[in-house]
A and B are shown apart, each in its own frame.
Chain A
């Protein structure tokens, strides 16, 4: 069996910000797993020559798939693509050995080769990953098959596999993001739900813009979406089946507003805010039985709940202390314990899929920040700063956050950005128009 360790790492100079063992000092001498910690200084140079088209219909896909793989890896900020023009070697057959010396000469440390076959409505994509400096293949070759329309997903799957083998962490490229697509002037904004690939491709609209929609969230397996809709005339949490686009209003009670819904990790329950008489508290709805449980009972604002990955706890925001702060309580409800301790207001907490961090929005001295802290509130780090940043959502591997950034003034508009949890690699996600309230799906099957 091939190893999943990559023996090259002088180049990933690691600054251990979280507790970490010995760094990559002995990298040249033997296999060493890359550990991605904060402060990666030098991205790993890699090459993805165009995949080999194994029949006539595969030509266009072979080139495009290589481009998407390269964009995925380079987009993490952890890798740097060596452009095709610099390549010396030509890969003309998937099964021929690769010329390590040619790749070494241009300092490509990792090389991904592949081939594509298209016949009718079936596309087959194969790839291999090579560690150039140790002169060996890294992991076994893999093959993905599907419809030609899903070629981008194939590319994302190749990139996910390469990312996982090199970093030892799960990938996040073959995933979707549900968000709110915005148009129209600031005082009459039109909003509609849309989903796209994590990189902004393949946008599909799920609703029209006839009523305000806010804060969509994927179910744990991506088959359903929860959001807040004004379709009834009042804000109501709504459940949409992604396949049929059928919607259902949940926990509807006259004279109340319901909002800020989020699924439990098993997808069977929904935690959300219910407002009555101006007071917002947290409730749990069992989707199977329809049973409703009140989790908090205070005159303060309790909202923006998010489950821990094991489903045992809920992080939320409350202004019971006088300003917005973050609290954690058991899933059964109760007082909760405050975890945020710094200056300013803290909101929209989201538990990392790894369970180790809480991402949040912070307001301080007229600026907005996206930040992370440990679940006990320690080691708070602010990753961004702007006029208005809010609403982080985690990539499936807990490594990257996507959020809304809105510009100021009459022409102000919202856009989606992502940032690595090290605070590096801030990027705008390309969307057709203005966009807000992103929520990342799990990795697709």
Chain B
């Protein structure tokens, strides 16, 4: 059970992820891969739960997989990405109390404005796929971080491939 305190630390560290977001999405960001730091103001803490509990956020992030990756300058979903998203859709359809923010990201090989657009395309590709799998559009919002929030910091393809991502970040207690 050592995961639990660790999980709380993670939340504390990344707790800014969804704070100060508009409306119902302000209820708490809990994505381990979230960009964080977007808003200002209070820190909002949510338990991730036990990954062995299939209804937990930890389960969604770690077992279902909270992210899909993209080839260079692309926003088309890969076969692997679609498979991950099918899992996400099943989970979201079974756990309807969660709302979702889909974050689109780009690697650093691009100009700032273009990468914002590219990130939004990636987030929209994920959103559209989830809608096609029965997830209600009203539960989802998208946000692009462009190249502002890499998770890997080296300047080689090994890092870039992980930064070209769309991350599905769960928000608690506000689904419909």
Spell out A's residues near B (CB within 8 Å): 185-190, 208, 210-212, 214-215, 228, 230-235, 254-255, 257, 259-260, 273, 275, 277-280, 301, 303-304, 317, 319, 324, 347-348, 361, 363, 366, 387-388, 390-391, 406, 408-410, 412, 437
Whether A278 contacts B155 in the complex (CB less than 8 A), given A257-B143, A303-B113, comes out as no
Spell out B's residues near A (CB within 8 Å): 18-22, 25-26, 36-41, 75, 108-114, 116-118, 120-125, 127-128, 141-145, 148-155
Whether A408 contacts B155 in the complex (CB less than 8 A), given A230-B38, A233-B25, A437-B112, comes out as yes
| B25 & A410 in contact (Cβ 8 Å cutoff) | no
Contact of A410 among B116, B151, B153 (CB under 8 A): B153
| A347 & B20 in contact (Cβ 8 Å cutoff) | no
What are the 6 A-B residue pairs with the smallest beta carbon separation, nearest first?
Answer: A278-B124, A210-B40, A233-B21, A408-B155, A347-B111, A301-B117
Contact of A186 among B22, B125, B150 (CB under 8 A): B150
Q: How far is the CB of A236 from chain B (nearest CB, A)?
A: 10
Q: How far is the CB of A231 from chain B (nearest CB, A)?
A: 6
Contact of B121 among A233, A278, A347 (CB under 8 A): A278
| A301 & B114 in contact (Cβ 8 Å cutoff) | yes
| A233 & B148 in contact (Cβ 8 Å cutoff) | no
| A188 & B111 in contact (Cβ 8 Å cutoff) | no
Residues of A within 8 A of B128 (CB): 278
Residues of B within 8 A of A301 (CB): 114, 117-118, 121
Residue of A with least CB distance to B120: A275
Residues of A within 8 A of B38 (CB): 211-212, 230, 233-234
6 additional contacts (CB under 8 A) given A210-B40, A348-B113: A187-B153, A235-B143, A257-B143, A278-B124, A390-B111, A409-B154
Give the complex CA separation of A186 and B114 in angstroms. 19
In the assembled complex, 11 residue pairs joining A and B whose CB atoms fall closer than 8 Å, in A order, are: A186-B150, A212-B37, A214-B116, A255-B142, A278-B121, A278-B125, A301-B121, A304-B114, A347-B110, A409-B153, A437-B112
Residues of A within 8 A of B25 (CB): 233
Contact of A347 among B19, B75, B114, B150 (CB under 8 A): B114
Q: How far is the CB of B39 from chain A (nearest CB, A)?
A: 5
Residues of A within 8 A of B144 (CB): 235, 257, 275
Contact of A388 among B18, B22, B108 (CB under 8 A): B108
Residues of B within 8 A of A304 (CB): 111, 113-114
Residues of A within 8 A of B154 (CB): 409-410
Residues of B within 8 A of A208 (CB): 40
Residue of B with least CB distance to A407: B155
Contact of A391 among B22, B111, B123 (CB under 8 A): B111
Residue among B22, B113, B118 with the highest chain A CB neighbour number at 10 A: B113
Q: How many A-B residue pairs have CB under 8 A?
A: 137
Residue of B with least CB distance to A191: B148
Q: How far is the CB of B144 from chain A (nearest CB, A)?
A: 6
Residues of A within 8 A of B112 (CB): 214-215, 348, 390-391, 437
Q: How far is the CB of B58 from chain A (nearest CB, A)?
A: 21
Q: How far is the CB of B159 from chain A (nearest CB, A)?
A: 9
| A280 & B111 in contact (Cβ 8 Å cutoff) | no
Q: How far is the CB of A270 from chain B (nearest CB, A)?
A: 15
Q: How far is the CB of A183 from chain B (nearest CB, A)?
A: 12
Whether A278 contacts B113 in the complex (CB less than 8 A), given A186-B150, A212-B38, A257-B144, comes out as no
| A280 & B155 in contact (Cβ 8 Å cutoff) | no
Q: How far is the CB of A208 from chain B (nearest CB, A)?
A: 8
Contact of B20 among A232, A324, A391 (CB under 8 A): A232
Whether A214 contacts B114 in the complex (CB less than 8 A), given A255-B141, A278-B120, A408-B155, comes out as no
| A215 & B40 in contact (Cβ 8 Å cutoff) | no
Residue among B19, B36, B37, B108 with the highest chain A CB neighbour number at 10 A: B37
| A188 & B37 in contact (Cβ 8 Å cutoff) | yes
Q: How far is the CB of A349 from chain B (nearest CB, A)?
A: 11
Residue of A with least CB distance to B101: A233
Residues of A within 8 A of B125 (CB): 278
Whether A273 contacts B149 in the complex (CB less than 8 A), given A230-B39, A388-B108, comes out as no
Contact of A361 among B108, B111, B118 (CB under 8 A): B111
| B114 & A317 in contact (Cβ 8 Å cutoff) | yes
Residues of B within 8 A of A275 (CB): 116-117, 120, 144
Residue of A with least CB distance to B163: A187
Give the complex CA separation of A232 and B23 in angstroms. 11
Whether A233 contacts B124 in the complex (CB less than 8 A), given A189-B148, A260-B113, comes out as no
Give the complex CA separation of A215 and B155 in angstroms. 23
Q: How far is the CB of A345 from chain B (nearest CB, A)?
A: 8
Residue among B41, B120, B127, B128 with the highest chain A CB neighbour number at 10 A: B120
| A303 & B117 in contact (Cβ 8 Å cutoff) | yes
Q: How far is the CB of B29 from chain A (nearest CB, A)?
A: 9
| A324 & B114 in contact (Cβ 8 Å cutoff) | yes
Residues of B within 8 A of A230 (CB): 38-39
Residues of A within 8 A of B155 (CB): 387, 408-409, 412
Whether A188 contacts B39 in the complex (CB less than 8 A), given A212-B148, A301-B118, A348-B113, comes out as no
| A363 & B110 in contact (Cβ 8 Å cutoff) | yes
Contact of B21 among A234, A260, A273, A391 (CB under 8 A): A234
